[in-house]
Structure 1
């Protein structure tokens, strides 16, 4: 299974596989029908406080990434990710959808790493 990232504003394609929105807020101006979601994992999104502090400022990225990973650890996110991967079943692709314009500095980048780790390490969720 491959984990991909895609802006929520990009048109869905068959190659997206199982589509998961990872933002806490629904993307502005997009209907449910157009987004074609399989899951909305808003519980994996950064806290409102962290999101507002970061404000998509690339200079804050290293600190944002550190704080966000800490939030994910406290939230036992690996259990949530394992459940999402189970829901995706035999899909060859899982696409994490995000609303940010910056493709390199957003929560989906951090989450892709977590999804990859959980996917490869079947025991990781049991340790949380």
Structure 2
């Protein structure tokens, strides 16, 4: 269903895609649970579509929830958590919350640098 929703989105059928992605999220929550990685990914996918539809506030709310879950489940330094921060920062920028977006992006850059440095040190 999610793949079909993505295809519909690619065809410009945002309303139908959003409707289908909402159904995917609801089913995943019911079947896999709210904390399952696939459920959280489906929430992020829906948030992207909502943002594309111009529903910026709803998208930001959902992306904040995605980030909170990623932090709690995966930790602050996990690549998926950092990616969720980056995604939320973009939506905050769209909302006009430029200071908050910039602060979050600075944190993303700092975490990516620190992780990259650690990876380089392990290789030596």
Task: Answer 1 or 2: higher relative contact order, Cα 8 Å, separation at least 6.
Answer: 1
Of the two, which has the highest radius of gyration?
A: 2
TM-score, normalised to structure 2, is: 0.29
More strand per residue: 1
The structure that is helix-richer by fraction is: 2
Q: Report the TM-score, using the length of structure 1 for normalisation.
A: 0.28
